[in-house]
A and B are shown apart, each in its own frame.
Chain A
Amino acid sequence: MNALAEKYAPQNINSIFLYTHEAHPAENYPHLSSMEQKFRHAHALREVYGVTRPILVDALDGACHRAYGSLPNMSWIFDRRGKIMYRATWTDVHSVEKTIADLLEVNKRRRNRELLTPFEVEKLDFREADREGFYKGLERNGPRAVKEFDEAFS
């Protein structure tokens, strides 16, 4: 997602990471109980995972995250007035890039004076299931994160 952000920034596409709550709290990164702790975890995300996009932090009660459905790793795309152009239950760089390319194409056609009107589409998209990478992340959180995930989905 960082590379995607850099690729499309020259075309006036902004990309941010919005820090929510700990989905898999454990020994190394426990559940949040203060904004100070939330900022510390957000800094750790930047340092450990190398997130280069601007990170913005939600309120401690997750007001923004909750209003958008509270899923742990969603992606959304907004236009400059806040209209929702895309929403996905999971973040996948290929899915986001396809959408950005489509939106830029629409803008190009409108500049060419084509009369276009929006309609809604629902479809399933597909992402690579990186089980190994996911478990590495859980292990980084602490042993309890692995145990609880296995128990929740066993």
Chain B
Amino acid sequence: MEKEDLITRYNYDEFVPEKFQPWMRWNEAPAAGTVGPDFPLWELDGTETSFGAVWAKALYTIVEFGSFT
């Protein structure tokens, strides 16, 4: 999938099954007990950090995924 196409499909413009269901991939998510994959992330002021840098800060890190909508 081309990068632009991926961005468009991931950021679908309407909540219809053919657009949101392809992203429901819980069965492909990493298992408990494994080390989760690391990715770059950004703070609200635009500063780049990473998932790994966040985990390393505390004994445990609770992560809620979501958005405004």
Interface size on B, residues (CB 8 A): 54
Number of interchain pairs (Cβ within 8 Å):
233
The complex places the Cα of A85 from the Cα of B62 at a distance, in Å, of: 10
Q: Which residues of B contact A14 (CB under 8 A)?
A: 54, 57-58, 60-62
Give the bracket for the number of chain A residues in contact with chain B.
35 or more
Cβ contact within 8 Å between A59 and B36 = no
Cβ contact within 8 Å between B69 and A29 = yes
Measured between C-beta atoms, what is the minimum distance from A109 to chain B in Å?
Answer: 15
Cβ contact within 8 Å between A70 and B25 = yes
Measured between C-beta atoms, what is the minimum distance from A79 to chain B in Å?
Answer: 6
Q: Which residues of A contact B16 (CB under 8 A)?
A: 148, 151-152
Cβ contact within 8 Å between A19 and B62 = no
Cβ contact within 8 Å between B12 and A84 = no
Question: CB-CB contacts of B18-60 with A at 8 A, as 1s and 0s?
Answer: 0010011111111111111111111110100101101111111
- Residue ranges of A at the interface with B (Cβ–Cβ < 8 Å): 1, 4-5, 11-26, 29-33, 35, 39, 41-46, 48-49, 53-87, 89, 91, 96, 100, 103, 107, 118, 120, 137-138, 141, 144-145, 148-149, 151-152
10 further interface pairs, Cβ-Cβ under 8 Å (given A71-B65, A148-B14, A152-B15): A13-B60, A16-B62, A17-B64, A63-B39, A72-B67, A74-B64, A75-B64, A80-B57, A84-B30, A152-B20
